[in-house]
Amino acid sequence: MRAEGSISPSTENFSLTDQEFEAIAQFAHKHFGLAMASSKKPLVSSRLARKLRQRNITRFKDYLASLDGPNADQERSGLLSLLTTNVTHFFREPHHFETLRNDVLPPLIEQARRGGRVRLWSAGCSNGQEPYSIAMTVLDICPEAAQLDFKILGTDIDPVVVQHAQAAKYPEDELAQIDAKYSKLVPKRGPDGRFPESLRKLITFGVLNLIEPFPFRGRFDAIFCRNVAIYFDNPTQQKVWSAFQNALNPGGYLFIGHSERMSGPAAQQLKTAGITTYVNLPAGRKT
Ligand SMILES: C[S@@+](CC[C@H](N)C(=O)[O-])C[C@H]1O[C@@H](n2cnc3c(N)ncnc32)[C@H](O)[C@@H]1O
């Protein structure tokens, strides 16, 4: 038996005590909105053991302290990566991109061509495949979008994935998944292998925690928040859905992930408009 708070991460069979798991679960809920059932304990234990071994940390309490220490941002981001997945790919859940192309974009492009403002948001964008897929869809039907007041925002809580997204470089096998109709926008094996500037300049990336108040003044015409809220508990999900509903223009669209469900007060204002697709009703009208 090992003493509480004192571990030997060099041992292969390291496992968190119930108390240690609870401490991590509480931290993750408070700071990231994550819901961590006790069934996750073995997974968290093995991932944390690897991390502590790499970092040569021998006491769990030292790791916990590092989450509030001088490198807290980096440490917290490392913990978040360990507790969630960044899995994503270009044009994931393709029906959403069909709705975007056929129903959402045509009136917005008209609006932008008349001098109006259009804002799309990929919230929880991971390494950027989602906002780049949105941008390709936009440029395919509105090649001059970057010259209009047409902007896409890509955000994630994890600064590491946001940096990847900004770098705009992807392995050949991932780029090969993109439909040939976008070939003009996909980098050839060039000097830097990045997505072309025409695509990059449509998107602004930033770090943003969805469980904190949103820092925007203007509203969005469409929000993609897919496969993110799945990590949150029910009350946190409902808060986030309401925050999105408030951040949408009337008639704006919200796309959520295939295993996520709309619930709580936001469901009164968000009318179903397809699979995991919702339209924000004008104020006063309810579903
Ligand atoms: C599975 S990826 C989803 C990527 C993309 N939306 C998609 O559907 O392919 C989940 C992302 O949510 C991010 N995430 C988790 N909690 C978050 C939070 N509280 N605020 C913002 N992003 C968060 C993770 O960092 C991760 O990059």
Give per-residue pLDDT as tens, 155-182.
999 999 999 999 999 998 999 999 999 9
Q: Please give the pLDDT value at position 187.
A: 77
Query: To the nearest whole number, what is the mean pLDDT of the chain?
Result: 91
Contact 184, 190 (CB under 8 A): no
Could you identify the atom of ligand 1 that is nearest to the CA of residue 158? Answer: 25
pLDDT of residue 9: 45
Decide: 23 and 64 in contact? Cβ < 8 Å.
yes
Question: When comparing pLDDT for 86 and 12, which is higher?
Answer: 86
pLDDT tens per residue, range 86-109: 999 999 999 999 999 999 999 999
CA of 126 from ligand 1 middle (Å) equals 6
Active-site annotation, residues: 47, 156
What is the position in ligand 1's atom list of the atom closest to the CA of 129? Answer: 9
List domains and CATH numbers for the chain: 18-83 (1.10.155.10), 94-280 (3.40.50.150)
- 176-177-183 Cα angle (round to 5): 60
CA of residue 243 to ligand 1 center, whole Å: 16
265-276 mean pLDDT: 97
60: left (phi over 0), alpha (psi -120 to 50) or beta: alpha
Whose C-alpha lies nearest to ligand 1, atom 17?
157
230: CA distance to ligand 1 center in Å? 9
Atom 9 of ligand 1, residue of closest alpha carbon = 88
pLDDT at 3 over 60: no
Gap between the Cα atoms of 211 and 194, Å rounded = 32
What is the band of 1 on the pLDDT scale with cuts at 50, 70, 90? very low
- Name the residue with tokens 């770098």: 167
Annotated binding site: 86, 88, 92, 130, 156, 209-210, 226-227
| Backbone phi and psi for residue 105, each to the nearest 5 degrees, phi listed first | -75, -40
Say what the pLDDT of residue 228 is. 97
**What is the best residue among 212, 228, 231, 277 to mutate for testing ligand 1's pocket, by most ligand atoms within 8 Å of CB?**
228
- The mean pLDDT value for 131-137 works out to 98
CA of 4 to the centre of ligand 1 (A): 33
pLDDT of residue 190: 54
The answer, yes or no, to whether residue 10 has pLDDT greater than 70, is no
Ligand 1: lining residues by beta carbon, under 6 Å? 32-33, 80, 84-88, 92, 124-126, 130, 156-158, 161, 209-211, 226-228, 231, 257
Atom 8 in ligand 1: residue holding the nearest Cα: 226
Return the pLDDT at 189.
58
Q: How confident is the model at residue 55 (pLDDT cuts 50, 70, 90)?
A: confident
Q: What is the distance in A from the centroid of ligand 1 to the CA of 197?
A: 25
Phi, psi of 175 (to 5 degrees): -65, -30
The three-state (H, E, C) secondary structure of the chain, written as one string: CCCCCCCCCCCCCCCCCHHHHHHHHHHHHHHHCECCCHHHHHHHHHHHHHHHHHHCCCCHHHHHHHCCCCCHHHHHHHHHHHHCCCCCCCCCCHHHHHHHHHHHHHHHHHHHHCCCCEEEEEECCCCCHHHHHHHHHHHHHCCCHHHCCEEEEEEECCHHHHHHHHHCECCHHHHCCCCHHHHHHCCCCCCCCECCHHHHCCEEEEECCCCCCCCCCCCEEEEEECCCHHHECHHHHHHHHHHHHHHEEEEEEEEECCCCCCCCCHHHHEEECCCCEEEECCCCCCC
